Structure 1
Amino acid sequence: MSNVSTDMDYQDTIRAAALAFLERHQGEHLGDLGQFLSRTVNHLVESLEVKESLATHLVHHAYSDLMTINTRQQIDLQASSDYTVVITDPIRGCTWSVPAYLIYEHLIAAGHGRRITLAT
């Protein structure tokens, strides 16, 4: 029974390391999910000496965790203004105020996001 527990502790630790890597680097691969996941697998294999098959499995689970985390954040429309977007994460109890020009400079002007045309 202790081997099963030890193995699960190891996998939980590696999955947490994968999630931490994904959180730190998600903004660097907005357009290429495959490259993002491969980079994370390579990080686990090279830095933590995890077998590639296990690393791939745990990275996919960690990515699922990341998607759950990323959908928690919400725009607080009442606190936002024409020039500042307020984003909250009610689970973590965090709030961020982001100037709109930074969103434009770092996401839109950098080629991330979709251009939409408003119907008139």
Structure 2
Amino acid sequence: MIPIYSQSDGQHCIQQAALFFLQRYQAQHAGNDQVLFCKAVEYLRSTFELAMPLAEKLVSDAYGDLKILHERRRLDISASIDTLAVITDPANGMTWAVPVGAIVGRVIEAPDNRRLRLV
């Protein structure tokens, strides 16, 4: 029997190819993510004969994966509630319950906070 793959399976495989491309050439384009992004899009278009919008979407998704690859800690949305953020570190099995008020007080309303912007 021949296995049947959905379109999303194929797109996931191509997205993984984009991620590998980004990882491989990231050092060559350090400081210029736009060039790296464009080269990855062209790689997908030429290798897999994709339309530009789909290639850009898959590279964009892969780029997001690349940026969080080394960030171990994750927000556990299913365990969090509106007043408590639950953060996990799967690498060491640690879990933290952080009151949202503490996040607001120490990050958002911190006097030296210039990084965050109101959206």
TM-score category of the 2 structures, normalised to the smaller one:
0.5 to 0.7
Work out the CA distance in 2 between the residues paired with 1:29 and 1:70: 18
Q: Secondary structure at the match of 1:70?
A: coil
Q: Which structure features the higher share of helix residues? A: 1
Matching residue's letter, 1:38: C
Work out the CA distance in 2 between the residues paired with 1:71 and 1:27: 18
Residue 23 in structure 1 maps to residue 29 in structure 2: no
Partner of 1:87: none
Instruction: State the 4+ residue runs in structure 1 displaced beyond 4 angstroms.
Output: none
Deviation of 1:52 after TM superposition, in Å, equals: 1.1
Deviation of 1:18 after TM superposition, in Å, equals: 0.3
CA RMSD of aligned residues (A): 1.7
Encode CA deviations 1:44-90: one digit per residue, 9 max, x unaligned.
00112111110100101000000111335xxxxxxxxxxxxxxxxx9
Partner of 1:59: 59
Work out the CA distance in 1 between the residues paired with 2:70 and 2:42: 23
Partner of 1:41: 41
Instruction: Provide TM-score, normalisation by structure 2.
Output: 0.54
Work out the CA distance in 1 between the residues paired with 2:70 and 2:25: 13
Partner of 1:69: 69
Partner of 2:116: none
Instruction: Provide TM-score, normalisation by structure 1.
Output: 0.54
Q: Structure 1: any 5+ residue segments left out of the alignment?
A: 73-89, 92-120
Q: Structure 2: any 5+ residue segments left out of the alignment?
A: 73-89, 92-119
Work out the CA distance in 1 between the residues paired with 2:62 and 2:26: 12
